[in-house]
Structure 1
Amino acid sequence: MTKLTFVSTRIPFPPDKDGFTENIFHIIQSLKDQYSVHIRYIFFGKQMGNWEENEFEKHVDELIFEIGYSKYLFPIFPFLINKYENSTPVLFCDFNSGYYQNVIGSDNKILYAADSQAFYRSKRKDVFSKLLFFKFIIEESFLYRKFKNIIFVSDLDVEYTKGRTNGRGIQIPIGYNLSRSFGSTTKKFDLVFSGNFNFFPNKEAAEFFLIEIFEDIKKLFPYIKVCFVGRNPSSLMKKYANNFKLNIVVTGEVDKVEIYLAQSKIYFSPLLSGSGMKNKILQAMASSLPIVCTIESLSGFLDYNRYSVIVSNTQLSLKSSLIEMLNKSDLELEKMGQSNREYINNNYSWSSIVKIHYSNIFNI
C-alpha cells in the first residue's frame, strides 16, 4: 500500500461547494477507488468540529489538524509546527498551503496551484487588481521555486508562469463527476449560462451578451428564453430581466445548477477574459448540452468535441453561431448533447484524469 500525503489550508467538503472542493475531493476519492493507497490529509487551520470535517474524515485514512499560523510569518518561524517525514510525493492542494512546505521532509513536493492569480489580475484594469497583480507576482516568484512541479489546469497559466516556475509548471485538466447531472426533462429555456456573477469574467460575459447580442437575436426569435443561473447577478442583468420578462430569467443563487441545465436546450459561454479551466463547460457537457462559446471558454481543454461545441472568436461570429444553433431541430440538439456527454465520460471523468495523470504524479 502506498502512503500519500496531502497538505492544505482548506477542507475539500462538500465536493460540489466550489472548484477547490470539487477537484481535490475527487482526486482523493478516485485514487482510493482505483489504487491501494493510504491517504494522510494535513490541514493547516482551526479545527471547527463541524459536519464538513466529520464527513470528510470518512474519506481519508488520517485527518491531521495543525494550527494555521500566518503564511507570511510561518516561513520565518517554522519550528512552530510539527515536522513530517514522507518518502513519497506530497501534494500541496492550494497556493497558501505552499507556505508550509518546509514542515514536510520530502524531495518530491508538488504544488496544486490550479490557476495563476497574477495571470488573472493581469487582465483587470482597476487599481486594486493592479496592486494585487504585483503582490501575486512576488508571491509566485517566492513560492514556485520551492517545488518540483507546479500543477495548473490550463496551458495558458503554464506558459504565463514559465519564468517563475523555471519550466516546472505542468498542465493537468480537471475532471467532472457525471453523477451530478440530471436526466432529460421538459425544456423551458433555449439558452443557459451559469456562474457566480460576482466574479468579473462571468459578469462581463453576461453583460456583453445582453448589450451586444441579445436584442439582435430576439428580432429573429421573438419568443426566445434565456436563463442566467448563479448567485450575485449584476444590476444590469436584473434590469434586462425586468424589461424582458418573457425572454430573460435571472435566478440568483440556486441549490443545484444542474436542474436548470437539464431544463435547457443549448449552453452558451460568451467569456471574454479569465484564466484556468472552466468547470461550467464540463458541467454543461455532462448535462448533455450542445455548446456555443468563445475560445476563452475552452482554456485548459486538451481537445474538445468539434461536432457539438461551436467556438467563436469574435462578437459577430458568436452571434452567427448562436443563430445557427438556435435554428437546429430539437432532435439534432439532443444528438449533439449526447455526443458531448459521451466525450466527457471518455476524456474528462475523474477516474480517467486520475488514471492518466495522477498515477504518474504519485508513482503508483
Structure 2
Amino acid sequence: MTPAARIAAAIEILDRITTGEPSEKALTNWARAHRFAGSKDRAAIRDHVFDVLRCRGSFAALGGGQGGRALILGLLRAQGVDPETIFTGERFAPEPLGPDERAALDKPAPPDLARRDWPEWLLAPLTQRLGSEFDTVTEAMRARAPVFVRVNIARTTPDAAIAVLAEDGIQAEAHPLSPSALQLGEGARRIQQSRAYQEGFVELQDVSSQAAVGQIPLAPGMRILDYCAGGGGKALALVAACPDCEICAHDIDAGRMRDLPLRADRAGARVSICAPGKPGAGYDFVLVDAPCSGSGTWRRTPEAKWRLTPERLGDLVALQARILDEASALVAPGGRLVYMTCSLLADENDAQAAAFAGRTGWDLVSQRSYSPATGGDGFFVAQFERKA
C-alpha cells in the first residue's frame, strides 16, 4: 500500500471509531476485509489511528472537525506534512480537499493545543494533582509509550538479556527506575517472536509497574496473594523476585488468567491459581491492583480517555473501596495490604488510600506515585498495616 492509501484506510477506521465502534474491533474488521494489506501496512495504519486517538482534541482543532478526514488533516498539520500531497484522489488516496477543509487548515492554530488532549472535565483535577509536572506529563501522554520488558532475574541477568535480545535485532538498555527493567528501542515490535521472550528470559511489563512491585519487602517463605491478578504480570514479577515465596493469583474473572499457566511455565515460575471468589486467607501480603480509570496508561489505550465519564469514575472509586475492604480480611496478623492503580487521578490514589485508612483499623505506612515524566506509565502504590 502507498502512504496515501494507508492514510485513506486510517480515515475509514477513524470514522467507524467516532461512531462508537471500539478501536480494536474497527482495526480487526478492516484488516479482515482487506486481506491484501501486509503486516507493515497494518502496523502503519494502526500507528496513524492511535496517534490520532492520543491527540484527538488538538487534531480536531487543527483539522476543523471530529470526522476521520478532519482528524487526519489535524495529524498531518501537526507533523508539518502538506495535505495536498496526500489528498490527491489517485491510486486509493483520499479524495482532494474541499473548500471548507482548506479554510479550516488556513485558520491559525488555537492556543493551549496540548490541553485539548485531556477530557475537559479532568483538566482541573489533573492540574491540581500533577502540579509542576502537568505540562511535562501532558506532552508525554500525547506520544507513543515506550516498550519495556522485565528481566526474569530468577533465570538471567539484565546484561545477559540485553545480549540475547540483540541476537534477534532488538536494542535494549537498562532503565534507572527498576533494576529488572529494560527499555526497548529498534526492533521492539519483534519482542514476542524473540528467543529472549519465548524462552522466558523477559516478560512485557511497564517499568512503573515493575518499580511498584519492587517496593514490596519480600522474604523467603512468605505467602502472597495477587488478589486482582488479571493476566498475572505482577504475580510473575513477585515469584521472579522471591522464588521461595508462595505466590497465589486470584481474579473474580477466571478468563483474565487463562494465559497465566503458559506464561508461568515459560518463565519457569510456580504460581498457584485460586478459584474465583475463593482466594483463601492468612497471607503475609495481599496485593490489590484495583480496577481503575487506567489514566496512567492512556497513551497505550487512548480510546479509554475519551470514554471515561464522571459517573464511571465514581463507580470505579466505589468498587476500589469495596475491594480494599474485602482484601483486608485476607491479610494475616502482622501482614500488609498493598494497593495499586495505573491511574493519575487523586480520587483513585491518594484520596482512596486516605479514605481506607480513615475508616478501618489500618495505618498507611507508605505511598508513592510514578509519573509518565519518568518514562513509564502513571502508577500509584500504597502499603497498609493494621493499627497496633
Which TM-score applies when normalising by structure 1?
0.29
Write 1 or 2 for the structure with the bigger share of helix.
2
Query: Which of the pair has the greater relative contact order for Cα pairs under 8 Å at 6+ separation?
Result: 1
Larger Rg: 2
Which TM-score applies when normalising by structure 2?
0.28
